[in-house]
Chains A and B, each alone.
Chain A
Amino acid sequence: MPTTNQPNSEEDRNSRGHLNRRQLLKQAAASTVAVSAVATFTGGSSASPTQGNMSADLLAQEITLKLNGRTGAEQEMFEKFIAQFSESHPEIKIEGEYFAGANQEYFQKVAVLFAGGNPGDLVWLSSLEGYYDYAARESLLPVDEYITRDAIDGSEWYSSAYEMMEVEGSRYALPLWSHPSIVGLYYNQDILEEGGVGIPDETWDTDQLASAAESLTKISGRTYEQMGYYPATQFFNGLSQVIPSFGGQVISDDGTTITIDTPEAKAALQWLQDLFVTSKVAPPPGQQDIGQIMASGKGAMRSGGYWDRWAAETTWEFNWGMAPMPKGPAGTNGAMLQTDAFAISAGTQNPDAAWEFEKFATSHDAGMILWDSNYIPGSRPDVWEDPAVMENEIHSIWIKAMQEAAPLRYPANFRLREFEIAMDQILGNLWLGNRTVDEAVAEAMATGQEIMDKPIS
C-alpha cells in the first residue's frame, strides 16, 4: 500500500520535478540542440574591457585562464612568466596547455582548438603562422580598447614590431618577442680553425662564405663526413633574407604580387642552387635535422635565427660562435622582422584577466626573464639595448640586425602557409638540380601568384 507522500501518477511525479524516461530523453535532446545552436551561432562571447579599476574587479573573484603554447624552450619561458605573474596577480590562475612538436604540429592543434571553439584564453602565435590567420578571421580579441583605456605607449616596443600587430585597422596583441629572421651565421670554431678559413665576421660576403664552405666540406659518395655550410631555404625563413641581400624582393610592398623573377632574385637563387648542386657544401633540404648535425660536430656553419642560440648554448659541446650572415651583393644580409604574440581568443570569458597577462608577458620584466633564459629577449628596446644585456657579444650582433630589419612581407590575403608550402615544394626541384633557376622561377611565379590572387579563406 502506497504511503500518502509518494507520487502516484506520472503527472504527480512530473509536478515534483521528476522526469520520466521519454521526457528525460526529450529534454536531453532539446538541450543538446540548444547548446549546439548557441555554440554555432553566437560565435563566442563579445568580450570587451571592463571600465574603471580593473584590479579591484579582478580581486573580487578567482579566475582561471588557459594558455596554449609549445613544449620545449617556450614552455620553459611561459612557465617562468606564469610563476612571476602569479606573484603580482594571485587572483588569476594560469594553466599552461602545451603541445609537442614543431610548428606544423602545434599550429594544427591550435587550428583544431579554434575550430572546436575551445582555444586557450591566451594562445601563442607567430607572425608567420596563426596571428594574421586568426585575426583576419575574427577569432582573436581586438585589444585596441584596452590599449586606449590603459594608455599603452606603443613606443615601448620596437616600432616596426608594434606596427606588425595591426591587422586591417585593429590590434590583437602586443609584441611578445621579435627577431630579424635567419640572419645569423653559427659556426663550429674548432672546424673553422682546423680548416684554416678564418673566423667569419661582419666583413664577410656571400662569395667568401661559399668559398670557405666548399673548402670545409668532406664528402664520400653521398655521405657527409663534414658539412661546410647549411643555408636556410624556406620561403619566409631563408629566401626572404637571401634574395634581398642580392638586391631583390620576394613579395611586393602591398603583398599582392610575387617578385622573385627579377635578375637580382634569380642571382640569389642561383647562388643557393650552386651551394647544393655544384659545390655540394650541404645536402639539399630534406629530412636531415640541421640541429642534430651541428650538435654532432659534423657541421661547420649554418644559417640560423636568434632562437638557435638557445640550442647552441645547451647542446653544442665544442667551441662555437656566431657572426652576422655575410652580406650579399646589395650590401645587406636581408634582415626581416618577425614577431610572436600571445593573442587573446575572441571567445574568452575573462578578457580583463587575459589582458593583464598580455601586459605582463610583453613587459620589461618578462623580457628580462627571456634574456636570463638565453631566449629572444622580448620585443622592447629597453631590454634589447639594456647595457647589461648588450655586453653579450652574440646579442650585440643581433641588435644591429634588429635595428636594420625590414618589415615582414607576406601575402595580403593572409595565405602565408599555403603560399610558403607551395614555394618550398616547387623550389625543391631547384635544390635537387632537377630544374634551372629560370624554370623553377617560372613555375613558382605562376603558382605563387595564383595563391596570392585567391580571396581570404
Chain B
Amino acid sequence: MALAGRMERTNRTTKTRSLRQREELAGYLFILPGILGLLLFSVIPLGAAFVLSFTDYNMLQSPDWVGFRNYSYAFTDDDLFWPSLRRTFYFVLLDVPLGILLSLALAVLLNQKFRGTSVFRTLFFLPSITPAVAAIFFWVWLLNPFFGIVNYALDKFGILGPLWLQGTGSAMPSIAIISLWATSGGTRMIILLAGLQGIPQDLYDAAEVDGAGSWRKFINITVPMLTPTLFFITVLSVINALRVFTSVYIGTEGGPAYATWVFSYHLFKQAFQFFEMGYASALGWIFFVVIMAFTIIQFRLQSKWVHYEERT
C-alpha cells in the first residue's frame, strides 16, 4: 500500500516535471527568435566590432592588427573627435530637458477630462510615427532660410529670420526643434500619461481637503509620484539623444562648417565613406562606454530625486 502510494507520488512528480519541462521548452522556443536576433544582430556584431577596433580594416581587405592605435588616435590625433562629442552633448542638453518638459505638458493636458482628448492624443502622437526621412525633408523645406515658408512669413512681418539649418549657430537648435516635434508627443508622452493615471486619486483628494491648489498639487503630488516614470524616460531620452543621426544625415550632412557633425555621424563617415571600419569600431566602443557612463551616473543619482512609493 505504502509502495503503491510512493509510486503514485513518483508518477505524479514525473508528470509534473515533464509538464514543467514541456512548458519550459515551449517558453524557450517562444523566445528563441528574439534570442537569435539579439545574438546575430547585436551580440556577435558587438563582439566583432570590439575585435575590429584593434585593427586597421578597410572592409575590402583583411584586417591588420594595430593594438590600441585606433583608441589613441581618437583621443589625441583626431581633430573631429572631441568637437563631435561636444556637439553631441550640446544636442542632448537642448533636446532632453525641453523634450521631457514638452512631453509632460502634453501628458498633463491629455490627462484632463474634456471632450476630444482622444483626437488630440492622436494628433500629438502622429509626428512620432511619421517616417523620419520624410519628416526631415519636410522640415528642411520649411526652414530653408532663403526659399522656405517660415522665413517668408517672418519677412512679411518685417522680421529677418534666422539661418536655421544653414547657420553655424542655429543649425543644432534647429535639429533639436525637429527632434522635439517628432518625439514630444510620442512614446514618451504616452508613458508619462500612463504614469499620471497611476497616481492614486486619494492623494489629490486629501490635498484638496487641506486646501491645496492645482499648482501645489502638481508640485507636491504629481511630480514626486511621477519621478520613477521621469527617471525611466530620462534614461531613455538621454540614450536616444546621444545617438542623434538621421536628422543630421538627411538635414545637414554634418554642416554647415561642421556645426552639426555629431559623434554618430563622425563614426558613420569613418565606416562607410572613408573606409576606416577598424577606427569606426573603436569609436563605436568609445561611444558605448560614454552612453554606459551616462546611464550609470543617472542610476547613481536617482536616489537623490526619484521617489518610490512605500506601501506599509
Contact = CB atoms under 8 A, between A and B. Distances in A.
A284 B275 contact: no
A222 B274 contact: no
Contacts of B146: 222-224, 283, 288
B273 interface: yes
Interface stretch (B30-38, B110-118, B185-193, B253-261): B253-261
Contacts of B255: 286, 424-425, 428
A43 B275 CA distance: 17
Contacts of A450: 79
From B62, B167, B256, name the one whose CB has the most chain A CB atoms within 10 angstroms. B256
Contacts of A283: 145-147, 166
Contacts of B258: 425-426, 428
Interface stretch (A131-139, A174-182, A252-260): A131-139
B155 interface: yes
Interface in B47-102: 56, 58-62, 79
Interface residues of B, number: 40
A415 to B, nearest CB: 7
B131 to A, nearest CB: 14
A434 B163 CA distance: 13
A115 B61 CA distance: 9
A287 B254 contact: no
Nearest to A418: B274
Contact of B273 (A43, A222, A418, A426): A418
A281 to B, nearest CB: 12
Given A107-B273, A220-B155, A223-B155, A137 B165 contact: no
A286 B256 contact: yes
Interface string B248-285: 00011111111001000000010011111100000000
Given A137-B60, A220-B155, A221-B151, A111 B275 contact: yes
B172 interface: no
A114 interface: yes
Contact of A108 (B152, B165, B273): B273
B166 A287 contact: yes
B154 interface: yes
B200 interface: no
Given A133-B275, A137-B275, A288-B147, A222 B58 contact: no
B271 to A, nearest CB: 9
Contacts, number: 113
A222 B145 contact: yes
B160 interface: yes
Interface string A101-116: 0001001100110110
Secondary structure call for the B interface: loop
A457 interface: yes
A283 B152 CA distance: 14
A7 B45 CA distance: 43
From B60, B144, B272, name the one whose CB has the most chain A CB atoms within 10 angstroms. B60
Given A221-B160, A457-B275, A138 B257 contact: no
A115 B59 contact: yes
B145 to A, nearest CB: 5
A20 B78 CA distance: 55
B168 interface: yes
A41 B145 CA distance: 52
A447 B256 CA distance: 17
A108 B168 contact: no
Contacts of A428: 168, 255-258
A451 to B, nearest CB: 9
Contacts of A432: 163, 166-168, 256-257
A220 B156 CA distance: 9
Nearest to A435: B257
Interface residues of A, number: 41
B160 A222 contact: yes
A425 B144 contact: no
A284 B254 CA distance: 15
From B79, B146, B269, B276, name the one whose CB has the most chain A CB atoms within 10 angstroms. B146
B140 interface: yes
Contacts of A332: none
A108 B272 contact: yes
A214 B94 CA distance: 39
B145 A138 contact: no
A417 B145 contact: no
A298 B61 CA distance: 48
A13 to B, nearest CB: 24
A421 interface: yes
Contact of B166 (A43, A133, A286, A447): A286
A293 interface: yes
From B79, B161, B254, B274, name the one whose CB has the most chain A CB atoms within 10 angstroms. B274
A413 to B, nearest CB: 11
Contacts of A288: 144, 146-147
Given A222-B151, A283-B146, A138 B61 contact: yes
A215 interface: no
A283 B256 CA distance: 13
Contact of A284 (B166, B252, B273): B166
Nearest to A129: B273
A457 B274 contact: yes
A434 B256 CA distance: 11
A270 B154 CA distance: 31
Nearest to A111: B272
A134 to B, nearest CB: 7
A279 interface: no
Nearest to B277: A115
B279 to A, nearest CB: 9
B266 to A, nearest CB: 11
B262 to A, nearest CB: 13
A189 interface: no
A457 B58 contact: yes
A112 B261 CA distance: 22
A139 B255 CA distance: 31
Nearest to A431: B256
A429 interface: yes
Contacts of B58: 137, 457
B60 A138 contact: yes
Interface string B226-256: 0000000000000000000000000111111
Contacts of B165: 286-287
Interface in B114-167: 140, 144-147, 151-152, 154-155, 159-161, 163, 165-167
7 closest Cβ contacts across the A-B interface? A221-B155, A115-B59, A428-B257, A286-B166, A283-B146, A429-B257, A137-B60
Given A40-B62, A286-B144, 6 more contacts: A111-B272, A221-B154, A284-B166, A287-B251, A425-B257, A429-B257
20 contacts: A43-B61, A221-B159, A222-B161, A224-B146, A224-B147, A283-B146, A283-B147, A286-B145, A286-B165, A287-B140, A287-B144, A417-B274, A418-B269, A421-B273, A425-B255, A426-B258, A428-B255, A428-B257, A434-B168, A434-B257
